Amino acid sequence: GELGRGAMGVVYKGVDPTLHRIVAIKTLPLSDFEEEEDLGVLKQRFFREAESAGQLNHPNIVAIYDAGEEHDLAYIAMEYLNGENLVQYTHEANRLPLRHALDVVARVASALDYAHGKSVVHRDIKPANIMLLKETNEIKVTDFGIARIISSSKTKTGVVLGTPSYMSPEQVNGKKADGRSDIFSLGIVMYEMLAGQKPFFSEDVTALLYQISHERHPSVREINPRIPPVVEKILDKALAKDVHKRYQRAGQMAKHLRKVVERIDQLKERKESKQ
């Protein structure tokens, strides 16, 4: 059955006949791409990206089992996730408690650190690509490599791919995006989860891209005064416009976030022991 529609195409729920496990199947309708001679290149890129994403083996990254093509449809079979993405937790009325939000971001940062160590950059970190599983509360990052597959191919409908709100200044300016670009995008997700609004927002795409490139984000503590200064410091470092002033490795960001989570736990224990 159909699970939904994503950047690539339709996502289906299926069963692996050999191992009898439920899988999610993401499809890419090759017929949607306008240049016939580009099809070979697109297929090549599709399998290369699926292969590099398939080599990622981390508890916070969705597992990829297989990739192939049937007629004019390319597909990737991956771990089926029973959960919801983070989009609903970016609204002010539905924010996660601070500790939970920081823990989620730390897990995503760890997943990115692992992927970057394998030379795989995500390029499209956003709440819709981060899943919170129902039973275990575990976090899974999805769609590694998908942005790369699509970004340099023009679709017939002329759709602009990539999500402008979560782009890094490098992506906005058409420069090469490395792991530090993912860190910036994760900073935007973190900001949204803590503030209940995006740090950069405009109905006009050009104005939005200008903000990302040139304007400082509003202080998260002005919007949500309950955020500790140490958390704002981590956030500001992730959102540094200058790539050299940003966290250089996602693992550093994860480490700093975990320290704050530990501190929250210690304070809670102390408070409970006094009661």
The pLDDT of residue 154: 43
The pLDDT of residue 275: 72
- The set of catalytic residues is 124
User: With 90 as the cut, is the pLDDT of residue 212 above it?
Assistant: yes
At 133, the amino acid letter reads L
Q: Do 64 and 89 fall into the same domain?
A: no
How many residues in the chain?
Answer: 275
Contact 98, 194 (CB under 8 A): yes
- Residue that wins the pLDDT comparison between 150 and 50: 50
Percent of the chain with pLDDT over 90: 58
| DSSP state letters, 19-84 | TTEEEEEEEEEGGGBS-TTHHHHHHHHHHHHHHHHHT---TTB--EEEEEEETTEEEEEEE---EE
The pLDDT of residue 153: 46
Q: Classify residue 275: in a domain, yes or no.
A: no
Beta strands of the chain (E only): which ranges?
Answer: 2-5, 10-16, 21-29, 64-70, 73-79, 83-85, 130-133, 139-141
Q: Which of 50, 79, 108 is the last residue of a domain?
A: 79
The pLDDT of residue 160: 41
Q: Which of 79, 105, 138 is the last residue of a domain?
A: 79
Residue with the two structure tokens 């940003």? 246
The pLDDT of residue 155: 40
Q: Which of 79, 102, 119 is the last residue of a domain?
A: 79
Residue 153 lies in domain:
83-268
Q: Do 46 and 89 fall into the same domain?
A: no
Residue with the two structure tokens 């297929």? 43
The pLDDT of residue 89: 95
Q: How confident is the model at residue 149 (pLDDT cuts 50, 70, 90)?
A: low
Q: How confident is the model at residue 157 (pLDDT cuts 50, 70, 90)?
A: very low
Predicted TM-score (pTM) of the model is 0.89
Q: Do 52 and 97 fall into the same domain?
A: no
Q: Classify residue 274: in a domain, yes or no.
A: no
The pLDDT of residue 29: 77
CATH of the domain at 176: 1.10.510.10
Q: Do 10 and 91 fall into the same domain?
A: no
The pLDDT of residue 7: 54
